[in-house]
Chain A
């Protein structure tokens, strides 16, 4: 039992931090611009492929810096020449613009890197087992992910809460007119924020690429899990996203560890006999079996009962 709890907690935290790493850029853009960037996973994919290409030529560490810069620049161009134009049509139009972007980025990636997975590997300097626990190895690279996630979280928190730039950015979201009057270029602030958010997606791509699979359909396969993180955490709350990542990581990991089904709970009772006939399909479905669907259930429940999310400061 101790083994299950310790291992699940550890795996849950590691997975949660991977989720936060991937979702941090999405949160930044959403909390500061109010735009839910549906193309986030596509920029994450761009980051992974740029990372792969630069790693192959120069090395992993330069890639970790250069790839996000490049993708961030692309993001800023997208904001400057696309999103900004759409901004006046409202949030739905912005959402749909990023939705259209996913198609285009995928096709372009396919044209450049083909449809087969790229052989993007964990860098040699981090390719070893950090420690062994209950006969399972824990790779150093996963700990690196953990550290990067926490570093990004702290850095963002610091910038937003403690610096002048952070204050201006926050003000620009709620009172763009006033911030403009005070002599700040609101458009440029939004462009910068979008660039940073997209660059964070690319950081996630460079790091997660070797752990997951770097392929032209990776953006689509990631699915909407990142939106779950952001929404459950509370739209626009960085701390909430961090907490939600951990929560989802732990919930999913602990659920996997337990093979409990309706049959186990009611199997021997009289009601069990009746239920087993009527619920034959889900009678033997274990908690472990539905673990990866639980985050979506969490999403729906949170939005019904606590619409502002775990730590959100405002509704929707």
Chain B
């Protein structure tokens, strides 16, 4: 079916370019390689929805360089090997722009594949746009000219978060709990290192790792936190591991401040509401709904009213696509070989509040202002709640782009 469509589209393109100047039938295809079935589908679908929304937005304005944008979904089942075949399929369908985000294992595989593919097939120029995988290796040891990332890495987020936490004079005892795998260690390791440097007086009373998605009952862990006398918990947990931890804490009446990286993810706001931890859970990310910035509220509102069953979105995806479209228009070409130089070093007013960020050419990491927020009952003037809970994110602090900069060890090989 798709082959038929592809060949038809190809034939039309050939006809159009041969006979007439560029016409509106021409499309710019973007391949979205993320989980669309199975356990990861809930998050993959959110990204797909948003990408489609952005494509519809730009198409309504006449497209990019006169071309209509079409998003083609490829289900990778969150499996690195299947992902590579799907990327190959996208390439065979004539797609040069691959969007992918979920799972560092998948991101490393895709970035590696794309880099080797371009090396072995000169002129192929496939680019990997990463909107969510934040393992630091992607912008350090394993960085690539053909990979760009828009989410802040674990180190960057922790740098900003500890800058915020260190101002808290009541802070005395910190408990670290994370999932036992590379990302969890990256988060906990960075937290320990940075807290020791910034607040030597603070005592780290616990440094806990637990296996990934294996725990049904977090009560023993909460009891341990309780017994340690901690006043603050920092965790890199996400998904079920975060939601269950928070719920168990709520049930045990644990009274601490929570600093998280993924409390905005699907399921966590529901858990926080159920645990009754109002304004106790902080998250750091690149923007929240209730930031009170007009253009963002307008776009996010339109997105969320269309996809009301899954009212979650990634501000960074707006940043990513806005920048890529700008680069394509500036280069006058949608071949990544032409528009990547425009993307490198590009400055961009970030989606959430219009503050400036930039794409660092050294490692292809987007540096942006980050925001720390807490979840609580909606106040006057706040429009957006999360997951129909009646609670919404509220700003606690803004971290300017300059405070998020980190060194990189990337030695990029340029073609």
Contacts and interface: CB of A to CB of B under 8 A. Distances in A.
Interface string A73-115: 0000000000000000000000000000000000000100011
B401 interface: no
Interface stretch (A3-11, A163-171, A194-202): A3-11
B224 A290 contact: no
Contacts of B165: none
A293 B214 contact: yes
A216 interface: yes
B216 interface: yes
Contact of A114 (B214, B240, B309): B309
A37 B336 CA distance: 51
A110 B42 CA distance: 10
Interface in A1-58: 3-4, 7-8, 11-12, 14-15, 18-19
Max chain B CB contacts within 10 Å: which of A12, A117, A253, A293?
A: A117
B186 to A, nearest CB: 16
B180 A289 contact: yes
A155 to B, nearest CB: 24
Interface string A252-287: 110011000000000000000000000000000000
Interface stretch (B56-64, B109-117, B267-275, B392-400): B267-275
Contacts of A110: 41
Max chain A CB contacts within 10 Å: which of B209, B215, B220, B310?
A: B220
Consensus secondary structure, chain A interface: helix
Given A18-B217, A119-B274, A221-B39, A137 B210 contact: no
B96 to A, nearest CB: 30
A257 B214 contact: no
Contacts of A289: 180, 208-211
B221 A256 contact: yes
B223 interface: yes
B220 A293 contact: no
A15 B252 contact: no
Interface in B235-251: 240, 243-244, 247, 251
B388 A7 contact: no
A115 B40 CA distance: 10
Contacts of A256: 210, 220-221, 224
Given A15-B219, A136-B252, A115 B42 contact: yes
Contacts of B41: 110, 115
Contact of A115 (B45, B209, B227, B271): B45
A136 B248 CA distance: 11
Max chain A CB contacts within 10 Å: which of B214, B222, B244?
A: B214
Contacts of B217: 11, 14-15, 18
Max chain B CB contacts within 10 Å: which of A8, A121, A256?
A: A256
Interface in B255-286: 266-267, 270-271, 273-274
B271 A293 contact: no
Given A8-B220, A116-B266, A137-B252, A220 B39 contact: yes
B211 A293 contact: yes
A135 interface: yes
Given A18-B217, A289-B209, A289-B210, A119 B270 contact: yes
A39 B220 CA distance: 29
A308 interface: no
Nearest to B37: A107
Max chain A CB contacts within 10 Å: which of B208, B209, B219?
A: B219
A117 B266 contact: yes
B389 interface: yes
Interface in A224-267: 225, 252-253, 256-257
Max chain B CB contacts within 10 Å: which of A4, A136, A210, A293?
A: A136
A134 B227 CA distance: 8
Contacts of B322: none
Contacts of B22: none
A180 B220 CA distance: 50
Contacts of B240: 213, 215, 221
A129 interface: yes
A122 B273 CA distance: 12
Contact of A217 (B42, B180, B215, B270): B42
A19 B216 CA distance: 9
A7 B211 contact: no
Contacts of A18: 216-217
B155 to A, nearest CB: 21
A222 interface: yes
B379 to A, nearest CB: 21
Max chain B CB contacts within 10 Å: which of A129, A142, A212?
A: A212
Contacts of B42: 115-116, 215-217
A152 interface: no
Contacts of B180: 289
A132 B222 CA distance: 14
A177 interface: no
A291 interface: yes
A136 B223 contact: yes
A132 B217 CA distance: 19
A211 B222 CA distance: 14
B238 to A, nearest CB: 13
Contact of B244 (A3, A15, A114, A212): A212
28 contacts: A7-B223, A8-B223, A14-B219, A15-B216, A15-B217, A15-B219, A15-B220, A114-B309, A115-B310, A116-B266, A116-B309, A117-B270, A117-B271, A122-B274, A134-B226, A136-B223, A136-B226, A137-B252, A142-B219, A215-B42, A253-B219, A256-B221, A257-B220, A288-B208, A289-B208, A289-B210, A290-B211, A293-B214
Given A141-B251, A221-B39, A289-B211, 13 more contacts: A4-B227, A15-B216, A110-B41, A114-B310, A116-B266, A117-B270, A117-B387, A119-B270, A136-B252, A137-B252, A213-B271, A217-B39, A293-B214
Interface of B: 39, 41-42, 45, 180, 208-211, 213-217, 219-224, 226-227, 240, 243-244, 247, 251-254, 266-267, 270-271, 273-274, 309-310, 387-389
Q: Which 9 A-B pairs have the closest CB atoms?
A: A115-B42, A137-B253, A256-B220, A292-B214, A15-B217, A117-B267, A253-B220, A217-B39, A139-B251
